[in-house]
Amino acid sequence: MKIYIGSDHRGVKIKKKIIKYLQENELDVMDIGLENNPADDYPKFAFKLGEMVRDNKGSLGILICGSGVGMSIAANKVKGIRCVRAVSVDDAFKGKNHNGANVIALGSEVTTDFNLVKEIIDTFITTKAPCEERHLKRVQAIRMYEDGCYEY
């Protein structure tokens, strides 16, 4: 499984630590390759990573900004992306297992304990996609809405 990672300027330091951690655990991780500078805007990172995850079936994404909120909002604008802002292991688990998240957004200024960051990422990567009927039904409703076919 390929894991794409991207951050704005506020997440560069933790992004580098996450890349090293994932590579040490023999995971296939790829920085999305956009340059960072103090004036960069998070949407371009979220859109590019979202498109890469969408276009590479079975892949996952990790986004980092100051709070994780902006990246999550922007990533969720990419059709086919379900991004969860995670500040806990439970957020990562439920985001993927209940909601079919394929991208996780972290806040470099929110979750500062790197051991917790590793736990959140490990949970996100290893958690299975939704399999309970009620969760599958909800994710399907989201897909239908994206395609313009959802009826209330």
Return per-residue pLDDT of the chain as tens, 152 residues: 999 999 999 999 999 999 999 999 999 999 998 888 888 889 999 999 999 999 999 999 999 999 999 999 999 999 999 999 999 999 999 999 999 999 999 999 998 899 999 999 999 999 998 888 999 889 899 898 988 998 88
CATH 3.30.499.10 fits 2-146, yes or no: no
Whether 131 is catalytic is no
Whole-number pLDDT of residue 42: 93
Whether 65 is catalytic is yes
Q: Where are the domains of the chain?
A: 2-146
- Decide: 66 and 85 in contact? Cβ < 8 Å: no
The one catalytic residue in 9, 65, 83, 149 is 65
The one catalytic residue in 98, 131, 135, 149 is 98
Q: Which parts of the chain fold into alpha helices (H)?
A: 12-24, 42-55, 69-75, 89-97, 114-126, 133-146
Q: Is the pTM of this model over 0.85?
A: yes
> How many Cβ atoms are within 10 Å of 23's Cβ, its own excluded?
11
- As a whole number of angstroms, the distance between CA 57 and CA 78 comes to 14
Cβ contacts of residue 54 below 8 Å, gap of 6+?
A: 78, 79, 80, 81
